[in-house]
Structure 1
Amino acid sequence: MTVEEKLAKSLTAESVELIPYLPYLLQDLWELGASPKDIVEMITRHIPVSKETKVLDLACGKGAVSVNLAKELGCLVKGIDLIPEFIDFAVQKAQEFGVGELCDFAVGDITELVKTEKDYDIVILGAAGDVLGNSEETIKLLKKTVKNGGYIIIDDAYGNDESNPQYPTKEQWLEIFDKTGIKLIEDKVIDDDEIARLNDEQQKWIIKRANELKEKFPEKVCLFDSYIQTQQDECNELENEISGVTMLLKVM
């Protein structure tokens, strides 16, 4: 699978043909995955942070997590994403929040850069799916980016049962952590009502922008309709088949 195909999959797009339209479709949304509030609170509860603390935010999207971390905790954050328009937006937001000097945003392929980025105190992978491989492969790659005793934050999901290998159950995640030398410090499962509210709000904006694109590009109506449907399918999955979760892990 190419990096573009992985990117499309992580953003619930069935085809790489949709990638050029994603900035338009998602223009009304700043938070594209993990909750900045939840991550700030988790770090505050468990990790001593100073102005020397270095955070790596992989697949940072439009920088919502990175900018909020820099603003609330005063730490240094490097955010990487493959979509240039997202990075441009993140840079703009960092300036707007007065943390431009604390944030370093770059366009890049995290599947390659995860192999070379090193010595961070915290690494974050927010709602990027299996872009780095399966759960165990992902943990092993993330582990290499942080110092001994460093922390990993993943926004993913617990499978409600063992029927879907893409989403390990909590017990299976714990087995992976044990196998890879990781300790689960805290996990926050997203409330069903909150998931439903977020899904409804995001779908409203995506449908609005998709309809605008359908008027502009009538020959691509099926492409945009397909995106709306895959987004809805993901919402249904999150509300019924899996439990969205943010996990704070420590490298032992």
Structure 2
Amino acid sequence: MIGENKRVEEMNYFELIAWLGIGSSHPGGFPATKQNLDAVQIKPEEYVLDAGCGSGLTACHLAKTVGCKIMGIDINSQMIEKARQRAEKEGVSHLVEFKVADVYELPFADNQFDVVIAESIAVFLDKVKVYRELYRVLKPEGRVADLEMAILKEMPAAVRHQMEECFGSGTNPLPFQEWLEALAQAGFQDVDIKNPQPLRDNGNIVLNELKKDWVLVKDLMSKINRQPGLVRRLQKNAGFMKRNRSYFGFGLVYGRKPTPPPLKLGFKDRLWQVLFRRKPRQ
């Protein structure tokens, strides 16, 4: 397992977050999650996909507060195990299911979900490729709601290099307009940024969120004892964001999958309808 034979200094950001089991390391933390769920207005009868569910914090909160059914997926099996434990202990296993899956190749048929939610995954990935796959599994008129970090002003090369050192070479936040363009390129309509805001200095957000999450706090100290470099690693990432927060903001990248237009009938089908007043042959 990650972390048992690998030092935190050697882990990439995904490995670090997976080892810690944290599910709210995104900008704004869990308060931003709740604010965005209010904006999306998910209904009890809707089926939700939580793409990149982490340890299941958002999915279980949604199950408890709305009562809808949720499918959570994450590429890391450790996260999925923690998510299942959380759902069991919080009494929502009848509403929430978790499975290991790759957001690039979701193991679901077309048109399955009413809503897809995600939190800070596309920033590390090919945005259009991710959004096209989310588009595929959404039902017509389904919504995507993705909380992501954005660039508020041009970032110097040195700052970008430091960002990649902290969070990985694939880290690529976009200006808000480019986030919307990526969503539109994938086919979504009515694209919008909900709850846009600048990044605030909330200290070490990863450590803060760990301390507030009962699933994770119990083994945080043992991990610090086993890995003395953990606090330094978290402080390095937090220090970068504190020094450079004026470059960053975040918001909910939102869009709707349109209903496809009706198929145009050929001459023979139109003639068949006129002569026999029946639906065209299938």
Same fold per TM (> 0.5)? yes
Q: Which blocks of at least 5 consecutive residues in structure 1 are unaligned?
A: 5-11, 216-220
Q: CA deviation at 1:73?
A: 1.1
2:189 equivalent among 182, 185, 189: 182
Question: How far apart, in 2, do the equivalents of 1:150 and 1:110 lie?
Answer: 17
2:71 equivalent among 66, 71, 78: 78
- The answer to whether the 8 Å contact 1:199/1:235 transfers is no
Q: How much is the aligned-residue C-alpha RMSD, in angstroms?
A: 3.7
1:249 aligns with 2:255: yes
Share of identical aligned residues, percent?
Answer: 19
Report the equivalent of 1:50.
44
Tell me the SS of whatever aligns to 1:112.
coil
2:131 equivalent among 126, 139, 157: 139
Over 3 Å counting, the alpha-carbon distance change for 1:168 and 1:144 in structure 2 is: same
Q: CA deviation at 1:243?
A: 0.5
Question: Quick check: 226-235 or 240-249, which moved more?
Answer: 226-235
Question: Quick check: 240-249 or 70-79, which moved more?
Answer: 240-249
TM-score, scaled to structure 2: 0.65
Over 3 Å counting, the alpha-carbon distance change for 1:232 and 1:106 in structure 2 is: same
Over 3 Å counting, the alpha-carbon distance change for 1:195 and 1:144 in structure 2 is: farther
Tell me the SS of whatever aligns to 1:111.
coil
Amino acid in structure 2 at the alignment position of 1:201: N
- The answer to whether the 8 Å contact 1:188/1:245 transfers is yes
Structure 1 segment 200-215 matched on structure 2, within 5 A: 201-202=208-209, 211-215=224-228
Q: Which blocks of at least 5 consecutive residues in structure 2 are unaligned?
A: 3-7, 161-170, 212-216, 259-282
Name the larger-Rg structure.
Answer: 2
Amino acid in structure 2 at the alignment position of 1:147: K
TM-score, scaled to structure 1: 0.71
Over 3 Å counting, the alpha-carbon distance change for 1:79 and 1:236 in structure 2 is: same
Over 3 Å counting, the alpha-carbon distance change for 1:115 and 1:88 in structure 2 is: closer
Over 3 Å counting, the alpha-carbon distance change for 1:248 and 1:76 in structure 2 is: same
Question: How far apart, in 1, do the equivalents of 2:203 and 2:231 lie?
Answer: 21
Tell me the SS of whatever aligns to 2:104.
helix
Report the equivalent of 2:96.
103
**Count of residues in correspondence between the two structures:** 227
